[in-house]
Amino acid sequence: MKRDRVKEIEKKFNEIVRRLGIPVKVVYNPDPYNEDHGKYIPGENIIIIHDADPEKAYETLIHEILEYRLYPLIKKYKILINKLIEFYDSTLNIEKELTFEKLVKDIKILSKNGIS
């Protein structure tokens, strides 16, 4: 695809997100070998589109706009899940330590009372 056409599509995509009030920059980087059709990068507020076919690239842009809109909600679930994992890990660690203490006592008793 010619560079002028790529810039034209990228300009069109940026106009779309601007009209939607989405503060991101769209980068159109057609790459037929990239398995990633597109990606929204939250920390950088960038949407990158890799589809070489303009129609497919437009569909990917819509998908990434939806990703952008859902990101705040998904982020909250990720925080919640990570907190649950932290809680579970700390609880599991306490149980593991208690089990080790019991096992050490068991081993001591068994070794003292072995059959000779």
Residue 113 pLDDT > 90, yes or no? no
Q: What is the pTM of this model?
A: 0.71
What pLDDT, in 10s, does the model give residues 36-89? 999 999 999 999 999 999 999 999 999 999 999 999 999 999 999 999 999 999
Q: Per CATH, the architecture of 3-112 is what?
A: 2-Layer Sandwich (3.30)
What is the three-class DSSP state of 54?
A: helix
Q: What average pLDDT does the segment 79-104 reach? A: 92
Q: What is the pLDDT of residue 115?
A: 62
Q: What is the pLDDT of residue 100?
A: 92
Q: What is the pLDDT of residue 25?
A: 98
Question: What secondary structure does DSSP assign to 63-113, as a single string?
Answer: HHHHHHHHHHHHHHHHHHHHHHHHHHHHHHHHHHHHHHHHHHHHHHHHHHT
Q: How far is CA 110 from the centre of its chain?
A: 50
